[in-house]
Chains A and B, each alone.
Chain A
Amino acid sequence: MQQYWINQNGVQAGPMTLEELRNMSLTADAYVWRSGLEDWVLVTDLEELAGEVVLEAKPVPEPVREAEPVLEAEPIYDNDVVEGGEPVEASEPMMPADTEDEQGDPVAQGEPVGWGTPVQSPLQHTMPPMPLESGEPRPKCPPTNLVWAILATILCCIPTGIVAIIYAGKVTSRYQAGDYEGAERASETGAWWCIGSIIAGIVLSPIVSLLQTLALS
């Protein structure tokens, strides 16, 4: 299942499925990220979302205006920071309340906001680090079992090894598309085709030979 992260007006949310995205009210300036993308892209730029998500008619200036006074209204915090006060408090107003905890904390830790820069630059505000860097690491690609698949194909006299090769291809293509669970499943299915081909090749062979000699005699 493809998972998406959304960043709208500096508020990050995710992971979400496509279904959940459809039910969200997004503006055209919201950023989206899924595994496989180099960086955040605008919702309008991601082809697979075209026609899927409902875009609201630009209330963009509003949240920006709302956000700016908040940051500027607390110069006290900034002064505290400069004097060597608590950077934690300074970063507080920049962390939106409804940001998910797992996603939110690393964002604050990853970017040392509030230390030297009293007011966060708008770019940083809208572009936190990608979820993968802050959240769970990219899982390892499951084994493709290609060695066994080819071995089964050319040695086992059961042409089912070809199926295992096809599943090996599914593992890599799904993994690159970010479908880690699907890759895992394809890897497992491919492994069973390998094992099945090898065992069937060894076990069926004497049985079939025996039946044949019996039938001929």
Chain B
Amino acid sequence: MSWRRAIVITLIMVIAVVAVTIYFFWNPATHGFFPRCVFLNLTGLKCPGCGSQRAIHALLHGEVAAALRFNAFLLIGLPLLCVYAVAEWQRTRWPRFYVVMSSRPVLCVIVLMVLLWWVLRNLFGC
């Protein structure tokens, strides 16, 4: 493992631990210091990621139903994120997996899902 890779991985883990701590102990719904969605503030419409912070706070406290209410897309987004992290991390071991997950059809499906979610949540207020 190269030095650069080691530093990057350490940095990511530190940030992840700090983030989890913050989102566990403080509720984004009641504390003002969390970043607010720029898109929502400017347009009044929700972006695909709106509610993620509150949803993560709820998830860390085991409240899955509440998390889904804040942002249902995390149900797809977070596992997807884990899959891609593994694909990236084990890229030399499973090169085929990485290639398939980064192929155009798979990415098109993901982009379409995000766009669909973006439109639907604003139409139906979820």
CB pair B84 A155 closer than 8 Å = no
Interface residue? A169 (CB, 8 A) = yes
Main secondary structure, interface of A, reads helix
Interface residue? A201 (CB, 8 A) = yes
The digit string for B54-78, where 1 denotes a CB below 8 A from any CB of A, is 0000000000000000010110011
**In the complex, chain A residues whose CB is within 8 Å of the CB of B85:** 147
**In the complex, chain B residues whose CB is within 8 Å of the CB of A108:** none
**In the complex, chain A residues whose CB is within 8 Å of the CB of B103:** 169, 172-173
Of the listed stretches A19-27, A30-38, A63-71, A157-165, chain B binds A157-165
Nearest CB of chain A from residue B103's CB, rounded to whole Å: 6
Interface residue? B104 (CB, 8 A) = yes
- Which of B42, B48, B73, B84 is in CB contact (< 8 Å) with A208? B42
Q: Which residues of A contact B (CB under 8 A)?
A: 143-144, 146-147, 150-151, 153-159, 161-162, 165-166, 168-169, 171-173, 176, 200-202, 204-206, 208-209, 212
CB pair B102 A205 closer than 8 Å = no
CB pair A146 B48 closer than 8 Å = no
- A159, A161, A205 interface centre (most CB from chain B within 10 Å): A159
27 contacts between A and B (CB under 8 A): A146-B88, A147-B81, A147-B84, A147-B85, A150-B80, A151-B81, A153-B48, A154-B74, A154-B77, A154-B81, A155-B49, A155-B53, A157-B35, A157-B36, A157-B39, A158-B38, A159-B49, A161-B49, A162-B111, A166-B107, A169-B103, A172-B104, A173-B104, A176-B99, A205-B41, A208-B41, A208-B42
- Measured between alpha carbons, how far is A199 from B65 in the docked complex, in Å? 30
CB pair B49 A154 closer than 8 Å = yes
Nearest CB of chain A from residue B67's CB, rounded to whole Å: 13
CB pair B102 A147 closer than 8 Å = no
CB pair A154 B104 closer than 8 Å = no
The 9 closest A-B pairs by CB, nearest first: A157-B37, A205-B35, A169-B107, A154-B77, A172-B102, A204-B38, A208-B41, A169-B104, A144-B102
Interface residue? B118 (CB, 8 A) = yes
The A-B contact count (CB < 8 A) is 97
CB pair A208 B38 closer than 8 Å = yes
**In the complex, chain A residues whose CB is within 8 Å of the CB of B77:** 150, 153-154
**In the complex, chain B residues whose CB is within 8 Å of the CB of A159:** 39, 47-49, 118
Given A150-B80, A154-B49, A154-B73, check contact A202 B104 (CB 8 Å): no
**In the complex, chain B residues whose CB is within 8 Å of the CB of A206:** 35-36
Nearest CB of chain B from residue A13's CB, rounded to whole Å: 31
Given A146-B101, A155-B52, check contact A205 B108 (CB 8 Å): no
**In the complex, chain A residues whose CB is within 8 Å of the CB of B111:** 162, 165-166
**In the complex, chain A residues whose CB is within 8 Å of the CB of B35:** 157, 201-202, 205-206
**In the complex, chain B residues whose CB is within 8 Å of the CB of A157:** 35-40, 47, 49-50, 52
Chain A residue at minimal CB-CB distance from B82 = A147
CB pair A168 B107 closer than 8 Å = yes
- B42, B49, B81 interface centre (most CB from chain A within 10 Å): B49
